[in-house]
Structure 1
Amino acid sequence: MLQKSTLKFLKVLKQNNEKEWFDAHRTTYDAARADFTHFIANVIEQYGKEDEAIAALQAKDCLFRINRDVRFSKNKAPYKTNFGASIAHGGKKSIYAGYYIHIEPGNESFAGGGLWMPEAEQLKKVRQEIDYNFAAFEQLVTASSFKAVYGGLYTGEDSKLSRPPKGYDDSNPAIEYLKFKSFIALHPLKDGEVTDKDLLSTILQAFSALHPLVIFLNTAVEG
């Protein structure tokens, strides 16, 4: 589990998102980040027993910086108000599908993963794999174990094309999946779950339900 103080820091940061405040509370930030880092290390240690592709990772390979890149954003707030970690073969900058943990107060936390906004080459490979092996892919994303945790693939804003991608048409039985630009699934977490003693177990179960999809996506990327 994570400490309540970690969520509290992120909540107060959202109300005071400026460098002067952050510098004055750096000790509190360091403690919160250490708490999150320790938890991610536990997740890697435990889930690495099921997915060997992540077993050698260190938490520091997976954690995102709290500083925002504001160069091209109208929002000039200097800090993110969440902690995030991408646990995939090769770390947070990997081209491979993997797992993700997002911690944000206000019941905005979630666990899940998959393949987020892959480059054109990887996306082409995934679409081809789905086209060639549609029955296997459909079985994965409609499996009761997957749907019980995630409901289905994420279909939020800007997740899909409005028209078939180049090389495919509406008659393709897999066309609705081929329109996806990302292949991810998210399991929401309430604040009470984030600070609950069973958080690690909840995360591991969510990752286990996602694992077959991760394998399918990475088989495509490696092809």
Structure 2
Amino acid sequence: MNETIPREAFAFLKRLQKNNNREWFTEHKNEFKEIEREVKQFVNQLGEHLNKHDQIDKVKVFRVYRDVRFSKDKTPYKTHFAGSFHRVKPRLRGGYYIQIKPNNESFIATGFWDPKKEDLLRIRKEIEMDDQEIRGIINEDGFKNVWGELEGEEVKTAPKGFSKEHAAIDLIKKKQFIFTKKYTDKEVIAASFMEQVNGDFKAIRPFFNFMSEVLTTDLNGVSLIED
């Protein structure tokens, strides 16, 4: 299995950015398919590495074709490669994502992009009761050195049923709980990139452990998962 991103991936994607049309892509489709095959191997191999310290039940490599039906941008192809890794549900929560894009725009992301309404309420209720544990995790030096600050969309003041004066309103008003990390093109094509990404993903575990515990129990800490 391939453990590196081919250098040709960036060169092809840069050309695709300048020639994002069906005629050019059709002419160069064989070249694309070979590069895509190597990227898929990389993503699948990364999934195997993740499975050594986590439980992944699905690895997905996204297609290059864009859905332009509801977009002002009618270019037919994505100018990046991307993959996602799903943890075993319902016991384990959270997910991993990787995007390979030229001009130093590659990144990985983890967390909760679109939590269900009931999950978001449960998270907010937990933080309302006690925000010390989650703050201890996301503010720990080793964690922040890898993942930086918590990101994600949020409501303007306070969600319905919560006080905007609450000491933890900065966390309660979050609608998403996301962390991202960027990489340069040089880092992506390096032989150590697989190991780097796997290690960075592994560093998110304390946050995932906390969220998984919250989302599989009620406010009294009683498990919601049937044996």
Instruction: Name the CA shift for 1:165/1:19 in 2 (closer, same or farther; >3 Å).
Output: same
Alpha-carbon contact 1:6-1:35 (below 8 Å) kept: no
Letter in 1 for 2:64: I
Of the candidates 1, 23, 26, which is equivalent to residue 23 of structure 1?
26
Aligned to 2:117: 120
State, as a whole percentage, how many aligned pairs show the same letter: 33
Instruction: Name the CA shift for 1:13/1:174 in 2 (closer, same or farther; >3 Å).
Output: same
Alpha-carbon distance, 1:87 to partner? 0.8
Residues 163-178 of structure 1 aligned to structure 2 (within 5 Å): 163-178=157-172
Runs of 4+ in 1 over 4 A off after TM superposition: none
Letter in 2 for 1:45: E
Alpha-carbon distance, 1:138 to partner? 0.8
Q: Which runs of 5+ in 1 are unaligned?
A: none
Counterpart secondary structure, 2:84: strand
| CA–CA separation in structure 2 for the residues paired with 1:80 and 1:90 | 28
Kindly provide the CA deviation profile for residues 95-144 of structure 1, in whole angstroms up to 9, marking residues without a partner as x: 94111111110100011311112232222222223333411111111111
Aligned to 1:47: 50
Bigger share in helix: 1
Q: Which runs of 5+ in 2 are unaligned?
A: 218-227
Counterpart secondary structure, 1:101: strand
Alpha-carbon distance, 1:85 to partner? 1.1
Alpha-carbon distance, 1:77 to partner? 0.7
Give me the TM-score of the superposition, normalised by structure 2. 0.86
Aligned to 1:80: 78
Q: Which deviates more, 212-221 or 29-38?
A: 212-221
Aligned to 2:142: 145
CA RMSD of aligned residues (A): 1.9
Kindly provide the CA deviation profile for residues 4-49 of structure 1, in whole angstroms up to 9, marking residues without a partner as x: 1011111111111111111111111111211111111111111211
Of the candidates 196, 206, 212, which is equivalent to residue 190 of structure 2?
196
| CA–CA separation in structure 2 for the residues paired with 1:17 and 1:217 | 40
Counterpart secondary structure, 2:87: coil
Counterpart secondary structure, 1:17: coil
Of the candidates 94, 101, 120, which is equivalent to residue 98 of structure 2?
101
Alpha-carbon distance, 1:90 to partner? 5.9
